[in-house]
Amino acid sequence: MERYNKDLLNTLYYKMYKIRRFEENIESFFLNGEIPGFVHLYIGEEAIASGVCASLTDKDYIASTHRGHGHTIAKGADLNKVMAEIFGKKTGFCKGKGGSMHIADFSVGMLGANGVVGGGFNLAVGAALAIKKQKRDNVSVVFFGDGASNRGTFHEALNLASVWKLPVVFVCENNEWASTTPYRTTTSVADISTRAAGYSMASKIADGNDVFDVYESFKEALDYVKAGNGPFFLEAKTYRIKGHYVGDPELYRTKEEVQKVFDENNPIDRFEEKVLIEGLMTEVELEEIRIKVENEIKEAINFALNSEFPDPSELFDDLYV
Amino acid sequence: MERYNKDLLNTLYYKMYKIRRFEENIESFFLNGEIPGFVHLYIGEEAIASGVCASLTDKDYIASTHRGHGHTIAKGADLNKVMAEIFGKKTGFCKGKGGSMHIADFSVGMLGANGVVGGGFNLAVGAALAIKKQKRDNVSVVFFGDGASNRGTFHEALNLASVWKLPVVFVCENNEWASTTPYRTTTSVADISTRAAGYSMASKIADGNDVFDVYESFKEALDYVKAGNGPFFLEAKTYRIKGHYVGDPELYRTKEEVQKVFDENNPIDRFEEKVLIEGLMTEVELEEIRIKVENEIKEAINFALNSEFPDPSELFDDLYV
Amino acid sequence: MRQITFSQATLEAMAEEMRRDENIFVMGEDIARQGGVFGQFKGLSDEFGDRIMDTPISETAIIGAAVGAAMAGMRPVADMHFADFMGVAMDELFNQMAKIRYMFGGQTTVPMIVRAPDGLSSCAAAQHSQSIEAWFMNIPGIKVVAPSNPADAKGLLKSALRDDNPVIYFENKILYREKGEVSEEEFLVPIGKANIVREGTDITIISYSIGMKKAYEVADKLEKQGIHAEIIDLRTLVPYDKEAILKSVKKTHRLAIIHEAVKQGGAGSEIAAFVAENAIEYLDAPIMRFGAPFVPVPFSPPLEKAYRLDSDKIVEEILEKF
Amino acid sequence: MRQITFSQATLEAMAEEMRRDENIFVMGEDIARQGGVFGQFKGLSDEFGDRIMDTPISETAIIGAAVGAAMAGMRPVADMHFADFMGVAMDELFNQMAKIRYMFGGQTTVPMIVRAPDGLSSCAAAQHSQSIEAWFMNIPGIKVVAPSNPADAKGLLKSALRDDNPVIYFENKILYREKGEVSEEEFLVPIGKANIVREGTDITIISYSIGMKKAYEVADKLEKQGIHAEIIDLRTLVPYDKEAILKSVKKTHRLAIIHEAVKQGGAGSEIAAFVAENAIEYLDAPIMRFGAPFVPVPFSPPLEKAYRLDSDKIVEEILEKF
Ligand SMILES: Cc1ncc(C[n+]2csc(CCOP(=O)(O)OP(=O)(O)O)c2C)c(N)n1
Ligand SMILES: Cc1ncc(C[n+]2csc(CCOP(=O)(O)OP(=O)(O)O)c2C)c(N)n1
Ligand SMILES: [Mg+2]
Ligand SMILES: [Mg+2]
């Protein structure tokens, strides 16, 4: 564990905890009817975005999904503007035009959540192509679900990235569910990373609820990709703790099933246990981070609640340049 | 070679030779300006359609490609109507509305050539689904090129066929070229059948210029599929002897390269050599088949040339039922 | 007469026709386990078992396989989840489904239905709120229907399920929960026939699907000004009922077309152009189209509200021309 | 002035702009080795090497990657091989490319061009002959151009290559080989401005792309009957030049719109509806639209011929209304 200096440990915990608390707050605001549209929560999957984004800079790109809050926060987007956007305020990243499903922060290389499942694959490949053409030392990452891996865009993107040896990492968040459908009933492989071989692509499976394993695996991917070997496929095994969207009656599975995973395999609990047992961090240090997070979230909520809605006249802004 | 009784040998040779001579005639009619539109020839790939279709009945389905004459003839379509269609005559299968790229004969389960590369995958999967729902003991086959294997439809079709265990055989005709592009520059695997594993699908590679190997391999696929094991992936390695379309200047490869393959690996020559050396057929028997084919083709040409063009008033027929 | 929701009406149509015709089956995402994103398939899998099939997230396979199965003797119903995702399978819809019968000289039929929930709901934003029916008016070989109420929803779906042509069935997300009278007797609503839902003398208002709500609002408000509007519910967009349109316009001498979809290049353009081509001499005023502005659907409530049709504004603009 | 072909004109535009802007690159099938199916990229890879990229047959990747690269600072040109294949990438075109800037509140631009060879050629049949520009008039967020001659082909392509919005460039397959005068000096043709190519007093004829050939034929034939037609080459379909249209119609009091695409729901519907909405009182005759019949494109020569616009028939129909 030597490469885990305090900064890195702090970062990992900070990102995960921030996502968790952000999502918990979003959930209750949504249930209170204060957030418009619909939202998909990332609770229980925080280790993936956090473990991946810990190694990225603002010059690296990520393409995200409908379940994009975690990716956005992990990539370092300003929390105030994320929160404001989800509330539909004009101070949000998209000036209220996007909302939860279209959250984006181009200033940190976050190329957008996507309401189209599987819509991000080719965007990330294109960003990687730009990186290569610009001869930059960056990478592009696409997060996607098990369900998205059955879209044709998966295939076209992986093939193109491979033949053009583009600096892109495909990060599959296999949370076992695609809305109401267990992935095994619609996906013809147990490990989605098996498909990487069909594109002569290097691949790895990580424990998506262990931020250290995600971090290490992604580092390996990054080294591989940055050495000019072409794309890498990382499958992170996880589980969707919350309903598909907030409000999902979840008739397709039992509460017990979910609770069991959450109790036994909560990425934040696992991190805390590990760092405390191995003496890498103290409870005080953890608490400090938690307090920092609470304050940031409180601030973000205030910011969002006190922000104005866009004026109806803004309807016509930002269509064409 | 015991299962190769005379009937079967006759069938294989007859189909291959008929396709070859058909295509040679089409080529010269086209070059003479007597065929409208554009045509893609199957010369050099006859062993694949012939070896596959020898085991199919009219109740089995095939979905074809832009290079569909060979599939159509091998599936047993009436030669007169194929020829007439390619000439744009009203006696053709599509009453002149389709032409070469949309040749089809539903009476023998030939669900159509397709002007959209990769358009056939899902059609064949759907036909297989119908077979399964109707509890019939048939199969559906889709022919497709190496180039088509990079389309998203490939992925969606293979995955669906696999999870639903549908009776479909995916027959990849890897002729090394997708119009002007060598497949290795655009396809991220050397053997396209490698991709089958990404769908937990059984697969096999056959020598696409050896009709016996294609026949045997397809039989294996058929047995596997008919036993209810789900789909099968068969890659037939071959080479595109002619230009992508008739008239293609072929600036992207040398004449010598092509001639060499044709001299050394002509599926019809190989068949003749083999059956003669092994004493399975005599030169007289082969000649009889050739004569039969010539007569049929002559008749088909006469039929086509003597048929009427559709009347302009037929423009509006056959849109809606 | 009893009242049921639009959603229930579609369920009844499905169940009745599936009992009648064993070749009908349904494919889509989250339709068996969940009963559809909007509950529009709820309970069907209890009765029909594996004739209701949950698919992978593979829209090209859903449409493509439906086409293949239709050619092989089945009568598939393909659910698109949201009409917004039809773009994913656009090639299958327009190059395969629409063309197969014609291109192959009538050798086969392609009896299938594409069910496409469309329209604004509540802040679903740019990729989950669209109405794209206009594209399909430009594509020969498909029939297109867009019911506005439970009775039509049932009658048109039943007709579609007996039609040997491919039919796109646009069902509006907000309408699902709306109730309306639906006869307990069996009935069909013919594809291609418009419905004059209110007779009037002063202006013809044409609409379909959710647009009909605005049509009624507008007509009611005009009525208060002493203007008697005739309202035509188009019901079917392809083929649309040219006769009914001309007849009405020739009587009222005025025409307004309302739909929720983007105005520019929308279905209203075709209707307006058709009338300008065939009855211009009967018109006493400009043909007015009302539809969404030329921007994607925004997320935030005040923006979404500004995006929506506003019957007061429509009335105002209509009155200006009187 | 020197004469060059439409195809050469596009090549010059590409080469000049690629020299000017190193962020431009091109992706598509058979464009580097072959120089494009219609030779429209011939020689570019000699000068620009790996900035001209042969792709796999993966239309969603071609458009999707272009969008991604555009967001990351490049200026991609994506070739669609045939406009008919745009359906394959329709989701990328309408849900990503068109919406990204707006949906993300203007945080990014998506400067890219989609080149789409369209129209009838010679018996290419149902899936290789289409003109589908109308769909894109209904999709906010894209600009759409459709030049009719070499000079416009060059000037519009150059403008498109400098535009920070996504632009679809419809280039007609038959026009490629047509010659026309093209200045050797550098010039741009602005997107959004129509061209009054012939002034007249008796009727306005609006067209674009290959339709302009018919427009001229029709105008010439009308001239022989003493009818002076004003011809507007629209050049750009989104945004289309409303001012030029109204001005002309108010002068001539008659309007005919001609395009090769399917008439029902075609671009002409929007233009006709716009005029019926804004200048109906100036019209002395019905607005006439001429476009393809409502069937897929048939293969056989006599059927294809019957499918095509016939200027004699157009003239006849126009004269009937005089
Ligand atoms: C092209 C498309 N099809 C269907 C949907 C509807 N949909 C939204 S999320 C979802 C499930 C996605 O599953 P997965 O990719 O595993 O991501 P997860 O929700 O598990 O994070 C579906 C079917 C969509 N948004 N886009
Ligand atoms: C979706 C689509 N994209 C592009 C084309 C143009 N095109 C026609 S054939 C062809 C090459 C096909 O290669 P392959 O699948 O290997 O078949 P082959 O021609 O070698 O038999 C291309 C690119 C098309 N018809 N459809
Ligand atoms: Mg999932
Ligand atoms: Mg090939």
Residues of chain D with pLDDT > 90: what percent? 99
Is A88 close to C54, i.e. CB distance below 8 A? no
With a 6 Å cutoff on the Cβ, whether A146 touches ligand 1 is: yes
pLDDT in tens, D127-156: 999 999 999 999 999 999 999 999 999 999
C3-181 adopts what CATH topology?
Answer: Rossmann fold (3.40.50)
pTM: 0.98
Q: How far apart are CA B191 and CA A136, in angstroms?
A: 33
With a 6 Å cutoff on the Cβ, whether A240 touches ligand 1 is: yes
Residues D305-318 as b/e (b if ≥16 CB within 10 A, e otherwise) read: ebbebebeebbeeb
Q: In the predicted model, is pLDDT for residue B131 greater than 80?
A: yes
Q: Select the residue of B36, B98, B115 nearest D128 (Cβ to Cβ).
A: B115
Residue D292 pLDDT: 98
The whole-number average pLDDT for the span A141-168 is: 98
Assigned token pair, C36: 């559809």
Q: Of all atoms in ligand 1, which is nearest to the CA of residue A116?
A: 26
Contact D233, D205 (CB under 8 A): no
Residues of chain B with pLDDT > 90: what percent? 98
The whole-number average pLDDT for the span D21-47 is: 95
pLDDT in tens, D238-274: 999 999 999 999 999 999 999 999 999 999 999 999 9
SS3 per-residue string spanning chain B: CCCCCHHHHHHHHHHHHHHHHHHHHHHHHHHCCCCCCCCCCCCCCHHHHHHHHCCCCCCCEEECCCCCHHHHHHCCCCHHHHHHHHCCCCCCCCCCCCCHHHCCEHHHCECCCCCCCCCHHHHHHHHHHHHHHCCCCCCEEEEEECHHHHCHHHHHHHHHHHHCCCCEEEEEEECCEECCEEHHHCCCCCCHHHHHHHHCCEEEEEECCCHHHHHHHHHHHHHHHHHHHCCEEEEEECCCCCCCCCCCCCCCCCHHHHHHHHHHCCHHHHHHHHHHHCCCCCHHHHHHHHHHHHHHHHHHHHHHHHCCCCCHHHHHCCCCC
Strands C236-238 and C143-145: antiparallel
Is D281 close to C278, i.e. CB distance below 8 A? no
The whole-number average pLDDT for the span B214-237 is: 98
- B89 interfacial to chain D (CB closer than 8 Å): yes
SS3 per-residue string spanning B76-89: CCCHHHHHHHHCCC
Task: State how far the alpha carbon of D272 is from the alpha carbons of A141, B219, D308, in Å.
Answer: 47, 60, 21
Q: Select the residue of A152, A163, A194 nearest B153 (Cβ to Cβ).
A: A152
Cβ contacts of C86 on chain A, cutoff 8 Å: none
Measured between its terminal Cα atoms, the distance across chain D in Å is: 39
Is A318 close to D106, i.e. CB distance below 8 A? yes
D195-320 adopts what CATH topology?
Answer: Rossmann fold (3.40.50)
Q: Select the residue of C69, C95, C105 nearest B93 (Cβ to Cβ).
A: C105
Q: In the predicted model, is pLDDT for residue A1 greater than 80?
A: no
With a 6 Å cutoff on the Cβ, whether A67 touches ligand 1 is: yes
Residues of chain A with pLDDT > 90: what percent? 99
Chain A 165-224, CB below 8 Å of chain B: which residues?
185-189, 194-195, 197-201
Q: How far apart are CA A161 and CA A128, in angstroms?
A: 8
Other residues' Cβ atoms within 10 Å of the Cβ of residue A135: 6
Is C90 close to D85, i.e. CB distance below 8 A? no
- Residue A25: in which H helix or E strand, if any? helix A6-31
* DSSP per residue, D190-245: -TT--EEEE--SSEEEEE-TTHHHHHHHHHHHHHHTT--EEEEE--EEET--HHHH
With CA atoms as reference, the chain B residue closest to C58 would be: B156
With a 6 Å cutoff on the Cβ, whether B89 touches ligand 2 is: no
Closest-CA distance of chain C to residue A134, Å? 31
Q: In the predicted model, is pLDDT for residue B4 greater than 90?
A: no
Torsion of CA B119, B123, B125, B128, to 10 degrees: -150
Q: How far apart are CA B106 and CA C70, in angstroms?
A: 13
Residues of chain D with pLDDT > 70: what percent? 100
Q: Select the residue of D296, D301, D303 nearest B314 (Cβ to Cβ).
A: D303
The whole-number average pLDDT for the span C178-187 is: 98
Q: How confident is the model at residue A24 (pLDDT cuts 50, 70, 90)?
A: very high
Neighbours of chain C (3+ CB pairs under 8 A): A, B, D
Closest-CA distance of chain B to residue A125, Å? 15
Residues B140-157 as b/e (b if ≥16 CB within 10 A, e otherwise) read: bbbbbbbbbbbbbbbbbb
Q: Of all atoms in ligand 2, which is nearest to the CA of residue B178?
A: 13
Cβ contacts of A157 on chain D, cutoff 8 Å: 60-61, 64-65
Q: Domain residues of chain D, as ranges?
A: 3-181, 195-320
* DSSP per residue, D47-99: HHGGGEEE--S-HHHHHHHHHHHHHTT-EEEEE-SSGGGGGGGHHIIIIIITT
pLDDT in tens, C139-166: 999 999 999 999 999 999 999 999 999 9
pLDDT in tens, D158-184: 999 999 999 999 999 999 999 999 999
Residue A2 pLDDT: 62
Residue D160 Cα to ligand 3 middle (Å): 40
Residue B55 pLDDT: 98
Q: Tell me the one-letter amino acid at C159.
A: S
Assigned token pair, B28: 């010269």
With a 6 Å cutoff on the Cβ, whether A178 touches ligand 1 is: yes
Is C301 close to A117, i.e. CB distance below 8 A? no
Phi, psi dihedral angles at A30 (to 5 degrees): -65, -45
Cβ contacts of B121 on chain C, cutoff 8 Å: 64
ipTM over 0.95: yes
Residue A4 pLDDT: 87
Told to judge if D128 belongs to the known catalytic residues of this protein, a careful annotator would answer yes
Neighbours of chain B (3+ CB pairs under 8 A): A, C, D
Residue B2 pLDDT: 62
The whole-number average pLDDT for the span B150-179 is: 98
Q: What is the DSSP letter of C228?
A: -
Instruction: Give the architecture (CATH level 2) of A6-303.
Output: 3-Layer(aba) Sandwich (3.40)
Is D54 close to B118, i.e. CB distance below 8 A? no
Please report the sign of the dihedral spanned by the C-alpha atoms of residue A269, residue A270, residue A271, residue A273.
positive
Q: How far apart are CA D241 and CA B144, in angstroms?
A: 45
Cβ contacts of B134 on chain C, cutoff 8 Å: 72-74
If phi > 0 it is left, if psi is from -120 to 50 it is alpha, else beta; for residue A179 that is left
Q: In the predicted model, is pLDDT for residue A249 greater than 70?
A: yes
Q: How far apart are CA D110 and CA A321, in angstroms?
A: 9
Chain D contact probe: residue of A101, A123, A311, A314 with most D CBs at under 10 A: A123
With CA atoms as reference, the chain D residue closest to C278 would be: D286
pLDDT in tens, B9-25: 999 999 999 999 999 99
Residue B80 pLDDT: 98
Q: Do domains D3-181 and D195-320 have the same CATH topology?
A: yes
Is C63 close to B63, i.e. CB distance below 8 A? no
